[in-house]
Structure 1
Amino acid sequence: MRTCARWWGRGTLPLRSGILLLLIPPFLLALQLLVVGTRLPRAARAGAREQAGAVAFSVISIEPESNSRRGGTPSRRRPGPEEEEEVEVEDGERREGTRTYEDENEIHWRQVGSRTLEVQPWAADEPSFAAELSRIIAYITRPQLNCSRVLSPGQAQASQPPADSHHWLLCAEDWLLPAADRPCVAYSFSMDGRDADFLKTVAGLGCEVHCFDPSNSNTSDGHLGNSLVSNHGDGGVVSQHKMWLEWRVPRKRKHKTRGNLGSVSQTLADIMAALGHHTVQFLYADLLSAEWRVFQNWIESGTLQSVHHLVATVHLQWAGFEVGGTDEEVLRYWFSILQGLQASGLKLIHSSAGEGQGVLKRTAANAHSSYTLSWVNTRH
């Protein structure tokens, strides 16, 4: 006690020295954080900057939602392992097992001049199979453009529209037909042989005609396998090719040399490029339920701007290749595709119902399982 008394009796420490002692611990802590921070991983430093309000970059997920009722577009199958290849990624690294084909959302980001498919609102206040189906049937059975003169199946001479046609029609108005001094190109994609009348009609118009069927072994004019050779100047000649339509855009788009695409399945844009065609006046397509995804590719890539007349069969028995989701979502997706065709300039001029009344494996009294639809592009 005496020692303490003597210590305190001598007086207290100066006030300035006391403040200095209080500042030493925070200074040492700050110095330690500075030294350790320079050794932190890059990601940790980025996280620290984000917490401080300085965001270095942001990562946006473009993975499609899986089968969400509010998402709008049905879920779709991803390409399988057989469609993988080595792809160059960020920082010059290479990653094995990356998909060869892009997802739909990736296509929107990468394609130049592409159009994003606009998903339409529900037909009713909430998802309803009856409401969605009724909207689609009303749309595909009501022509949007009346033609005073038409070309009927197998006929190359224009005539007045028949009272009742169970097939397809081509609008033969003068402003819609190719001029006599201009080249005429026609494509047909069919594996059931039902395009014979179409081929006869467009060949009679003097068009350069190309028929695509991967199962066809009876090719002519030396057009074998997946080799594409144009028949410029040979009006009325039908060239056959063992090739089919692809709806996915390759991640690595290689330069396509004219006459050989290197694959039996290609997009319409690549086929046209290989044949040296900028415009297809007449196109016939019976794609056996692949039409919905092919149509989406045409809409988003802008290929429809180069097609003047389109005759296509739509199938309603099931959702179609790489289309999934609830029945209501599938119907809504189909209607969105039809609206996308209209937004691209196509107007319906004729509709013909097929056999059966099954829609998405349900029996529909007021609908058919398929419809052959005839459109004309009014923007030309």
Structure 2
Amino acid sequence: MARERPPARGCGALRRCLLGAALLLGLRLCAELRRAGPRPPARSAPPGTAPRPPEPHLPPAPGPPRGASRRRVTYVRSGRRAPPGGRGSGPPEPGCCAPRGPPRRKIACNHISTDSLATDSSPAKKPWSVCLDDRFGLAHQIRNKQCRLYSLGLGSDDTHFEVRMADDGCEVHRFDPSVKSAHVLESQRLWFHRLSVDWRDPHPAVAAQKLHSNARKLGTILNEFGHHKIDVLKADLESAEWKVLENLILEDVLGQIGQLIFEIHLHWPGFEVSGSDSSVVRFWYSLLKELELKDFRLFHSYKDLSKPQLFLKKDIFNASSCYILSWVNTRWK
């Protein structure tokens, strides 16, 4: 009769090794959990306290009364019209550093009328430039003596551009609060208005006490004058141009303008614009991007090297704190 074989000793040793390894793994996991510690409970806001809102890009500016809805400028941080590929699929956001030049997306204009021979290296009079290509209509309006120019200024005596446009047959309105009194040069088709174009209208209570307030939004002036279109809008507002441009975007006035000629200043953020350098640059970039979305294209730029080489109060070699930029509304008719 065959005898049964006793169980092999090797199997028992293997079992003991596996049990020991499992025990060591369990002890290591326990040690890791103790080292990490329990997760702190999420803090809840005390009763009656509203959640903290995200930091704004800019301090709140005076706006419409409660309940009124109007479109706000879409700042670049919100990623307007970003392609559906996530963060890395769109163009990079602007940083806090000085731009190497004005916006690069330009349109070719074959007939630029510049009333000055100024260059970047040899500044003379400021080159206020308009595009006279037939496809944009300004040349046709000038030939028919039907063009209209609005010029916004603050204390400047240089009106050679306005006089030339009036001589060419344009109806020219010059707005400057520093003029002694409103007057008309009918022989030159040139009107001087003792008004300042602002990004806000006077408060009703203040306006009631001061009937002839000399500050208006551009949209308000257009309504008061009964003008529906401006062929050329020129602005030299000494750092108020950013807020005025924002107002034109917010109130959809841009569609009534054929060409924009703006002197922009970069040596400080501008009136009622504040925040870190990067947030200020985002604000500027957002306005320029809105112009592009409204079908305005840059056709001429001029860097004024006679101005201090400053960007947001920092010395920058071969930079300028002042540019003159000219855009044309490609949908203007």
Same fold? TM cut 0.5? yes
Give the paired residue count.
260
| Residue 321, structure 1, aligned to residue 271, structure 2 | yes
Any idea what the Cα deviations from partners look like across 1:5-29, whole Å, max 9, x if unmatched?
Answer: xxxxxxxxxxxxxxxxxxxxxxxxx
- Counterpart of 1:121? 77
| Residue 110, structure 1, aligned to residue 34, structure 2 | no
Contact kept, 8 Å, 2:202 with 2:213, in 1: the verdict is no
| Residue 367, structure 1, aligned to residue 319, structure 2 | yes
- Counterpart of 1:258? none
TM-score (norm 1): 0.60
- Counterpart of 1:302? 252
Contact kept, 8 Å, 1:349 with 1:375, in 2: the verdict is yes
Matched letter for residue 224 of structure 2: A
Contact kept, 8 Å, 2:309 with 2:317, in 1: the verdict is yes
Contact kept, 8 Å, 2:267 with 2:310, in 1: the verdict is yes
Contact kept, 8 Å, 1:168 with 1:350, in 2: the verdict is no
Aligned counterparts of 1:364 and 1:154: Cα–Cα separation in 2: 27
Q: Are the structure 2 counterparts of residues 150 and 265 from structure 1 closer, same or farther at C-alpha, using a change threshold of 3 Å?
A: same
Contact kept, 8 Å, 1:353 with 1:370, in 2: the verdict is yes
- Counterpart of 2:179? 216
| Residue 198, structure 1, aligned to residue 156, structure 2 | no
Identity over the aligned pairs, expressed in percent? Answer: 31
Q: Are the structure 2 counterparts of residues 163 and 331 from structure 1 closer, same or farther at C-alpha, using a change threshold of 3 Å?
A: closer
| Residue 241, structure 1, aligned to residue 225, structure 2 | no
SS at match of 1:338: helix
Deviation at 1:336, TM superposition (A): 0.8
Contact kept, 8 Å, 1:168 with 1:372, in 2: the verdict is yes
Matched letter for residue 133 of structure 1: C
Aligned counterparts of 2:108 and 2:326: Cα–Cα separation in 1: 12
Contact kept, 8 Å, 2:199 with 2:247, in 1: the verdict is yes
Any idea what the Cα deviations from partners look like across 1:124-159, whole Å, max 9, x if unmatched?
Answer: 99xx9993435x444x2535111111111169xxxx
Q: Are the structure 2 counterparts of residues 302 and 251 from structure 1 closer, same or farther at C-alpha, using a change threshold of 3 Å?
A: farther
Contact kept, 8 Å, 1:313 with 1:372, in 2: the verdict is yes
Deviation at 1:110, TM superposition (A): 2.7
Which of 350, 353, 363 is residue 303 of structure 2 equivalent to? 353
Any idea what the Cα deviations from partners look like across 1:14-59, whole Å, max 9, x if unmatched?
Answer: xxxxxxxxxxxxxxxxxxxxxxxxxxxxxxxxxxxxxxxxxxxxxx
After TM superposition, list the pairs within 5 Å mapping 1:82-101 onto structure 2.
101=62
Q: Are the structure 2 counterparts of residues 64 and 378 from structure 1 closer, same or farther at C-alpha, using a change threshold of 3 Å?
A: farther
Contact kept, 8 Å, 1:115 with 1:302, in 2: the verdict is no
Deviation at 1:200, TM superposition (A): 2.3
The 10-residue stretch of structure 1 (116-125 or 305-314) with the greater mean CA deviation from structure 2: 116-125
Which of 82, 85, 95 is residue 131 of structure 1 equivalent to? 95
- Counterpart of 2:58? 74
Unmatched tracts of structure 2, length 5 or more: 1-49, 80-86, 206-210
Contact kept, 8 Å, 2:77 with 2:93, in 1: the verdict is no
Deviation at 1:197, TM superposition (A): 2.6
Aligned counterparts of 1:317 and 1:190: Cα–Cα separation in 2: 19
- Counterpart of 2:108? 146
Contact kept, 8 Å, 1:102 with 1:251, in 2: the verdict is no
After TM superposition, list the pairs within 5 Å mapping 1:22-37 onto structure 2.
none
Q: Are the structure 2 counterparts of residues 248 and 351 from structure 1 closer, same or farther at C-alpha, using a change threshold of 3 Å?
A: same
Deviation at 1:349, TM superposition (A): 0.8
RMSD: 3.6
Deviation at 1:251, TM superposition (A): 7.2
Q: Are the structure 2 counterparts of residues 280 and 129 from structure 1 closer, same or farther at C-alpha, using a change threshold of 3 Å?
A: closer
Aligned counterparts of 1:182 and 1:352: Cα–Cα separation in 2: 28
Contact kept, 8 Å, 1:122 with 1:332, in 2: the verdict is no
Deviation at 1:362, TM superposition (A): 0.7
Deviation at 1:249, TM superposition (A): 5.0
SS at match of 2:59: coil
Runs of 4 or more, structure 1, over 4 Å off, are 122-125, 162-166, 249-253
